[in-house]
Chains A and B, each alone.
Chain A
């Protein structure tokens, strides 16, 4: 889809790469935000991924595969950002979850709260598999290929992550009170 721009960028055309980045940037941001659950960290991860992509672009064989290739770079950038945050935030209490607004009324405030907390307890590697599978709608083999891991590993990460999230939802459903009541 972006092959012509990729080809020009591979020739060192910064203008073309800038145009390319603007075509794929929002999607990268959506992925990074969902993995990292933090807009500033996601900004940094996307920025790092795009700069790496520029530097390595000539190693990309098939321009048609630019976006999957970039997503793998982005995933690694997310891992790096998550590690960086862990290093300097150790011992600091988790900040309150910022409310996010979306179109699906299926989620209650309690659902969001429970899922957000459960999601943050997952490893960043598990989150990445969840995001590529449930958000981008990729099959497990596509997820494995996109992230650069064996299919068995992707399956295992998805299984554990999904189980943890389901458990949080189920626990909430069984609870007789709302989160506000529990906090009171």
Chain B
């Protein structure tokens, strides 16, 4: 009589067998391809599971997160294409200085303190950046980077919010009014509504303000907790669980300008103050 056989051991033995060596031609093919393939250019430690302008930024062990996201959605206006965006080489960090002419975005690199003009999808405005170590990615993000962990970034105004953030289930397209978008942000399932939507003024333009807090334990990782989406470019997720996200949706010359700012639970008062100062400094041209 033989002893009963252990099914788990059989499964493990079965899985222990098989091919364990990657053929040399695969390494060669990879080498050929990477020499023809540029790496995605990022500034800061981001995660981007899919093509995405709503880039979430992660901070590892950094204690403070501040993110400011600005976008623009034209309403019945032709798109004005700006100059090609610049990229930041990881070994190249030229200091950008305030520029008198309007650019699509501040040049990539560390920003000296001062006023920076930019055009986002046809809307020109400027912002006063403090001389405290902010860095532009030349495209849509201004950050302080690790270890401070403060960030600003911007892209396109969302089309709607997620109906089930952990399942990445999109809700219906919202808008196009600022009030409708703000209401959608305020109602994202699982988030805590801290304040708003409230009518405010930014740069002399009417705006909607709403502040939400990302849950600390939503049942999925931060990068899987989807907040809002743009149908063309993807979705936005928070940098960290428990973070606070403040959003301003500004009505400017027939368009919407979207600003959002993410702060970690232990963000410093000074950082919060700088963010607010930058919001208050916005001037539309």
Chain A residues with CB under 8 Å of chain B are 10-12, 14, 17-18, 21-22, 25-26, 28-30, 33-34, 39, 42-43, 46-47, 50-51, 54-62, 100-104, 106-107, 111-112, 115-116, 119, 130-131, 134-135, 148, 150, 162, 165-166, 169-170, 173
B42 at the interface (CB under 8 A from A): yes
23 contacts between A and B (CB under 8 A): A11-B90, A21-B30, A22-B27, A25-B27, A30-B19, A34-B15, A47-B29, A47-B30, A51-B34, A54-B34, A55-B37, A59-B45, A59-B48, A103-B17, A107-B13, A107-B14, A107-B17, A111-B10, A115-B11, A115-B14, A148-B224, A166-B8, A169-B11
| Chain A, Cβ-Cβ closest to B31 | A18
Contact B13 A106 (CB under 8 A): yes
Kindly list 18 other residue pairs between chains A and B, CB separation below 8 angstroms, not including A59-B46, A166-B8.
Answer: A14-B35, A17-B34, A26-B22, A28-B22, A47-B29, A50-B34, A51-B33, A51-B37, A61-B58, A100-B19, A102-B17, A107-B14, A111-B13, A115-B14, A130-B11, A135-B12, A135-B16, A162-B11
CB-defined interface of B245-265 with A at 8 Å, one 1/0 digit per residue? 000000000000000000000
Those of B202-236 within 8 Å (CB) of chain A: 219-221, 224
Q: Which residues of A contact B59 (CB under 8 A)?
A: 61
B26 at the interface (CB under 8 A from A): yes
Bound: A55/B42 CA distance, A: 11
| Chain A, Cβ-Cβ closest to B21 | A26
Contact A21 B90 (CB under 8 A): no
Q: Which residues of B contact A11 (CB under 8 A)?
A: 90-91
Bound: A21/B47 CA distance, A: 21
Bound: A30/B47 CA distance, A: 26
Bound: A56/B219 CA distance, A: 26
Contact B40 A58 (CB under 8 A): yes
Contact A43 B16 (CB under 8 A): no
Q: Is the interface of A mostly helix, strand, loop or mixed?
A: helix
Q: Which residues of A contact B90 (CB under 8 A)?
A: 10-12, 58
Minimal beta-carbon separation of B119 from chain A (angstroms): 27
A106-B10 CB under 8 A given contacts A11-B90, A39-B19, A54-B34: yes
- Please pick, from B10, B12, B29, B39, the residue contacting A57 in the complex, using a CB distance under 8 A: B39
Q: Which residues of B contact A22 (CB under 8 A)?
A: 27
- Please pick, from A25, A42, A115, the residue contacting B19 in the complex, using a CB distance under 8 A: A42
A25-B11 CB under 8 A given contacts A14-B34, A56-B40, A58-B40: no
Minimal beta-carbon separation of A101 from chain B (angstroms): 7
B82 at the interface (CB under 8 A from A): no
Contact A173 B40 (CB under 8 A): no
B23 at the interface (CB under 8 A from A): yes
B266 at the interface (CB under 8 A from A): no
Question: Counting chain A CB atoms within 10 Å of each CB, which of B26, B37, B41, B60 scores highest?
Answer: B26
Minimal beta-carbon separation of B136 from chain A (angstroms): 17
Bound: A176/B253 CA distance, A: 82
Q: Which residues of A contact B20 (CB under 8 A)?
A: 26, 29-30, 33
Bound: A33/B8 CA distance, A: 20
- Please pick, from A56, A61, A148, A173, the residue contacting B60 in the complex, using a CB distance under 8 A: A61
Q: Which residues of B contact A134 (CB under 8 A)?
A: 8, 11-12, 15
The 7 closest A-B pairs by CB, nearest first: A102-B17, A61-B45, A104-B13, A29-B22, A25-B22, A166-B7, A135-B15
Q: Which residues of A contact B40 (CB under 8 A)?
A: 55-56, 58-59
Minimal beta-carbon separation of A2 from chain B (angstroms): 15
B18 at the interface (CB under 8 A from A): yes
| Chain B, Cβ-Cβ closest to A27 | B20
Contact A29 B21 (CB under 8 A): yes
Minimal beta-carbon separation of A147 from chain B (angstroms): 12
Contact A102 B27 (CB under 8 A): no
Contact A170 B46 (CB under 8 A): no
